[in-house]
């Protein structure tokens, strides 16, 4: 059953169906109707991800009856949730409204509102795909109040339109944008300036950016009229890339306009890797408990696949944010190394310090920690090599000598080295 769900969500549909049929044979042999219903639900969900909506609806109708016979209201609600979504996608308005009314009543009676608020095992892998049908439900009088209540829980009570997927943005190591599971290609952007405009809005996401400022940053060599023309073209291409199914003349969802300023809709539920990275590592840097700090820092560092916005490294509007993120990354590595030293996990500490000097060859604390770790491992030659490299890099890059604390570490290594000789 679990493998059926896993392969269905991953797009391996033949494998999903095969595992589902195998599981069903086992439960039907022992007449376990309840578990068989859940396995059938897994198969139905795999059909949905395979785009076979009509077949899925037939299965879901049978599954709903099976759960009813077992007295499982939760299973009935899950099956009905999917039937409602399928009807909405198939534009069967009458069937959609009939399913919708029953669904929201069951959700309200069973306190199942979390089904549209967070991911569950049998629910959609992208919870945002349910939002458009909740917006549509607001126009249906019998359930409009409860639908509005559910949308308010998602922070979307004012939304008149939603594209039906989560916008995911990767900025660390390589810039990528995903509409749900689908990655945007260069062709999807249509124009290079559309992508650059989006990157600018991502960097300045905490503020609205006036149109004039955008034009001065992206089109510094154009006159005002030409810049305004090219900006409009880039903005239209950007909105088309992010929301290819949006109806003409409807307001974009992800890029919002306020007067003559533009910005990202941060209430849209978009996922931005640098935001998650920053939240984890800042929590780890502030945490006083070593074990909890390690967990948080590791979660954040797993997201760091490289420099922030690498293809915008030479743009003035990105440099400050890029350097800020890099310093946060280096501080996190240093804290991880020190936590490892505290537990005498010297090899791990060396690993983190080497990552530091790969990024910043003048981060002197990393050299001190490397010297100390090798010294504690009785590898004094390696400790001395790191000291000499530290001296070389500081002189080459900054024209300065090591700090007194680094020299003291060197003296400690040398004294022990001489004594051993």
Q: How many CB atoms lie within 10 A of CB 148?
A: 16
Residues 110 and 199 in one domain: no
In a domain, 329, yes or no: no
With 0-12 / 13-18 / 19 or more C-beta atoms within 10 angstroms meaning exposed / middle / buried, residue 54 is exposed
Residues 125 and 238 in one domain: no
Residues 361 and 261 in one domain: no
CATH of the domain at 352: 1.25.40.10
* 211 half-sphere exposure, CB direction, 13 A CA radius: 15
CATH of the domain at 256: 1.10.10.10
Last residue of a domain, one of 269, 285, 308: 269
How many residues are present in the chain? 421
d(CA 253, CA 188): 18
d(CA 350, CA 337): 7
Nearest to 333 by CA among 365, 310, 288: 365
d(CA 86, CA 80): 10
Question: Could you say which DSSP state residue 71 is in?
Answer: T
Residues 195 and 106 in one domain: no
User: Do residues 409 and 370 touch, judged by C-beta distance below 8 A?
Assistant: no
Residues 117 and 60 in one domain: yes
Q: Which residues contact 12 (CB under 8 A, 6 or more apart)?
A: none
Residues 149 and 262 in one domain: no
Residues 24 and 90 in one domain: yes
In a domain, 414, yes or no: yes
In terms of DSSP bridges, do strands 271-272 and 261-264 run parallel, antiparallel, or are they unpaired? Answer: unpaired
Last residue of a domain, one of 269, 302, 334: 269
Last residue of a domain, one of 153, 185, 206: 153
Total domains present in the chain: 3
In a domain, 282, yes or no: no
Residues 140 and 192 in one domain: no
Q: How many CB atoms lie within 10 A of CB 155?
A: 12
pTM for the model stands at: 0.88
User: Do residues 274 and 171 touch, judged by C-beta distance below 8 A?
Assistant: yes
In a domain, 56, yes or no: yes
Residues 185 and 111 in one domain: no
Residues 125 and 206 in one domain: no
In a domain, 291, yes or no: no
In a domain, 71, yes or no: yes
Residues 105 and 198 in one domain: no
Q: What is the pLDDT along the chain (421 residues), one digit of tens a residue?
A: 678 878 778 888 888 888 888 888 888 888 888 999 999 999 999 999 998 999 999 999 999 999 999 999 999 999 999 999 999 998 888 899 999 999 999 999 999 999 999 999 999 999 999 999 999 999 888 888 999 999 998 888 888 899 999 999 999 999 999 999 999 999 999 888 999 999 999 999 999 999 999 999 999 999 999 999 999 999 999 999 999 999 888 899 999 999 999 999 998 999 999 999 999 999 999 999 999 999 999 999 999 999 999 999 999 999 999 999 999 999 999 999 999 999 999 999 999 999 999 999 999 999 999 999 999 999 999 999 999 999 999 999 999 999 999 999 999 998 875 455 4
Torsion angle (degrees, nearest 10) of CA 61, 63, 64, 65: 90
In terms of DSSP bridges, do strands 255-258 and 261-264 run parallel, antiparallel, or are they unpaired? Answer: antiparallel
Domain of residue 360, residue span: 344-421
351's tokens: 């690993």
Nearest to 321 by CA among 218, 171, 179, 174: 171
Residues 63 and 107 in one domain: yes
| Greatest Cα pair distance in the chain | 90
In a domain, 328, yes or no: no
In a domain, 161, yes or no: no
């Amino acid at each position: 059953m679990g493998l059926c769900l896993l392969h269905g969500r991953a797009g391996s549909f033949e494998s999903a169906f095969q595992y589902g049929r195998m599981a069903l044979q086992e439960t039907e042999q022992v007449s376990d109707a309840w578990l068989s219903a859940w396995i059938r639900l897994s198969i139905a969900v795999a059909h949905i991800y395979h785009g076979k909506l009509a077949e899925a609806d037939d299965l879901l109708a049978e599954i709903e009856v099976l759960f009813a016979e077992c007295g499982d209201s939760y299973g009935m609600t899950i099956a009905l949730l999917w039937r409602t979504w399928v009807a909405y996608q198939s534009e069967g308005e009458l069937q959609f409204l009939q399913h919708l009314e029953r669904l929201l009543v069951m959700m309200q009676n069973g306190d199942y509102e979390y089904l549209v608020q967070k991911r569950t095992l049998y629910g959609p892998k992208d919870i945002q795909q349910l939002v458009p049908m909740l917006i549509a439900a607001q126009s249906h009088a019998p359930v409009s109040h409860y639908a509005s209540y559910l949308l308010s829980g998602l922070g979307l009570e004012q939304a008149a339109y939603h594209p039906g997927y989560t916008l995911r943005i990767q900025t660390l190591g390589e810039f990528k944008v995903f509409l749900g599971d689908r990655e945007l290609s260069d062709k999807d952007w249509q124009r290079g300036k559309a992508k650059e405009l989006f990157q600018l809005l991502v960097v300045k996401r905490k503020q609205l950016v006036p149109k004039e400022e955008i034009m001065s940053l992206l089109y510094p060599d154009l006159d005002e009229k030409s810049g305004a023309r090219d900006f409009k073209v880039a903005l239209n291409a950007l909105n088309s890339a992010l929301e290819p199914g949006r109806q003409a003349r409807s307001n974009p969802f992800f890029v919002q306009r306020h007067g003559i300023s533009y910005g990202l809709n941060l209430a849209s539920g978009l996922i931005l890797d640098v935001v998650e990275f920053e939240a984890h590592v800042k929590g780890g840097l502030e945490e006083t408990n070593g074990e909890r700090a390690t967990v948080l820092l590791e979660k954040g560092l797993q997201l760091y696949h490289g420099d922030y916005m690498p293809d915008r490294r030479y743009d003035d509007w990105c440099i400050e944010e890029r350097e800020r993120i890099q310093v946060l990354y280096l501080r996190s590595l240093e804290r991880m190394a020190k936590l490892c030293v505290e537990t005498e996990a010297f090899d791990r500490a060396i690993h983190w310090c080497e990552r530091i000097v790969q990024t910043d060859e003048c981060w002197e604390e990393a050299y001190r920690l490397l010297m100390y770790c090798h010294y504690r491992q009785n590898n004094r030659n390696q400790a001395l090599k790191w000291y000499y490299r530290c001296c070389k890099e500081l002189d080459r890059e900054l024209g300065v000598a090591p700090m007194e604390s680094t020299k003291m570490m060197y003296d400690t290594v040398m004294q022990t080295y001489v004594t051993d000789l």
